[in-house]
């Protein structure tokens, strides 16, 4: 029975539960960001470029006479850059909200406190 008790204590620790929640929310957030990039941002950016190149799909970009599809690679690089930028903006916004909620650092001691500390220090010096 000691093993089960130990496992229960481990499984319900605050850190483990927080980590589990973070993983689930992170997975859901990842799907949202992926959809934003693949369904909204990438088509908005690539559609004009593909139309100028007379292509319907980015995967059609290949080196002539080879099977090298550099279009897929470019699509993945573009997705990475957009996702990284979106995450940067989100982290920046969250950090600014955190800074607004934090109390300003405490100011130095008031003049009265400073005077009392000096008196205390002088009294410590006496025998």
Cβ proximity of 76 and 85 under 8 Å:
no
What whole-number distance in Å separates Cα of residue 90 and Cα of residue 97?
11
- 43-52: average pLDDT: 77
Structure tokens at 126: 């006496």
Residues, the chain: 127
Residue 65 falls inside a structural domain = yes
Instruction: Assess if residue 109 is contained within a domain.
Output: no
**16 SS3 class:** helix
The CATH number covering residue 67 comes to: 1.10.1200
Residue 33 has pLDDT above 80, yes or no: no
Answer whether 0.75 is exceeded by the pTM: no
Nearest to 83 by CA among 23, 118, 41: 41
- Look over the chain and give the mean of its residue pLDDT values, rounded to a whole number: 79
Residue 91, domain member (yes or no): yes
Residue 116 lies in a domain: no
Residue 13 falls within a domain, yes or no? yes
Structural domain boundaries enclosing 15: 2-100
Does residue 117 form part of some domain? no
């Amino acid at each position: 029975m000691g093993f089960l008790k130990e496992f229960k204590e481990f499984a319900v620790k605050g850190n483990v539960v927080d980590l589990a929640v973070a993983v689930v929310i992170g997975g859901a957030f990842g799907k949202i960001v992926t959809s934003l990039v693949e369904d909204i941002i990438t088509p908005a950016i690539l559609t004009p470029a593909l139309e100028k190149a007379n292509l319907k799909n980015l995967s059609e970009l290949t080196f002539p006479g080879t099977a090298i599809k550099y279009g897929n690679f470019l699509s993945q690089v573009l997705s990475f850059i957009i996702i990284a930028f979106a995450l940067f903006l989100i982290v920046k916004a969250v950090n600014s909200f955190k800074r607004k909620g934090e109390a300003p650092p405490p100011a130095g001691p008031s003049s009265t406190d400073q005077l009392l500390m000096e008196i205390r220090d002088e009294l410590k010096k006496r025998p």
